Structure 1
Amino acid sequence: MSVFRFFKCYKNAPNIIRADKSGLGTMPAAAFQYCEAMRVASSYGWHVFPPKDIHLNFDGKEVFFFQDGQWFPMKSTNFEAEFREHWASLAPENLEEKDPPFLTELFVPGMVQIWSGYFLETNPGWSTLIRPVSNFDVRSSFSCFEGLVETDRFNPLPLFINIKLNATNREIYIPMNKPLFQIQPVLKESYGSVLSEGEIIEMDRDNEDIFPWQKYLNTVRDNETKASQKPGRYAVSIRKSTK
């Protein structure tokens, strides 16, 4: 049963794809072979791409976008007329002119919201973590913010990401063939008030019997024990347990 349901509204937008354990082939070979924690983090969720190539420029105060051979100040920018006609043909009469903007300059200089061209909803009890792509390339010209949305209740959600432009007075290119952000399902019961139940225990003589010393040997590498020198012990253990 699918937790996520995607509604593709912008026809030319790349397909949303399942994240994979190799970070789309960018993960170092040693990490892919031995680091199961990194592999699982990379594969958890879905990759979302820009709906089309995006060219931005930030002068420190105002954001500009490139379209039809020239630069325009960006406030709230919708998709092209063809899409708006498509939207109007689908939407009820009272929503014909209420298509979500493609690009929106937010209230903080250099912050931009990018809509993927998709809508999203989740099953009851599930929220959506919207975040940078896990273990993928880190681009210095912009950074992505994270958000956790209760998409079982607040839906259909226009699936977007907020970014911060870090470079000024030069073109910032965001290609549609490279994932822009990652979405991950999160059980609502796993966050919120349950996090207040964490406990901190001081490691001292008064509590020496509480710390699981024998289990500690399973989580560290002993330089004097050849068996523990083998990389990937955690990966082997986890993979065996899931067979």
Structure 2
Amino acid sequence: MDDFFAPPVPPVRDSAKDQITCKTPPNGGVFFCGKMRKDTCMENRPKIYMAGPDVFLPDPLGMAARKKEILAAHGFEGLHPFDNEIEAKGATPQEIAQQIKDMNCSMMRRCDAILANLTPFRGPSADVGTAYEVGFMDALNKPIYAYSNVDDDFFKRVTAYNGGGLIRDGAAWRDAQQMSAENFGLFDNLMLGCALWQGIALALTSEQERYTALDSFEAAVSAMASGWCKS
């Protein structure tokens, strides 16, 4: 038994206590949170859905490969949206879009957890597609982990996005359209911030490396591995 390493067991939220607890598999076994042995259990590695605006990079497959290597070193199997095979021949743009959405959702159902890149994208908040995927996995009650290459909180980013022109209105801050700005001290909109299982790994990077630096990703993978049970 000492020579056998089973895949890590995902943490399970205890909503009553707002804590993370561990689910023990019915067949027992030994669980290891670090690198998996290459000769055992590789087919059963936890599958992690890799979400984020990385798909818009000039070389999304290259970035996906680098991140998959990091995940594999911690005992996980990374599944990326570009792993799907789209039938584009003869399809309209709308039909292609529907295929992508359906295949991504199917992939998420097969995964054990999601690791989301919540680096702000084309505005002060996370990529809207990634936000949808986080919500999708939350509805499935699957573990949600996240990272970002920007370390400012949401309120500070919204303030900057509005040119610093938020106006105090009693307890609220409002923009030029009189819309109030969230100020809960969270990294993003509360529906994202409150869905994360272990907070968010943050790293401050240059503008040029905002979507390519890997420090926060590596920190998130390490935290994710430590959050899976060892028995």
Select the structure that is richer in strand.
1
Select the structure that is richer in helix.
2
* TM over 0.5, shorter chain: no
Q: Shorter-chain TM-score: which interval? A: under 0.3
Structure with larger Rg: 1
> Normalising to structure 2: TM-score of the pair?
0.24
> Normalising to structure 1: TM-score of the pair?
0.24
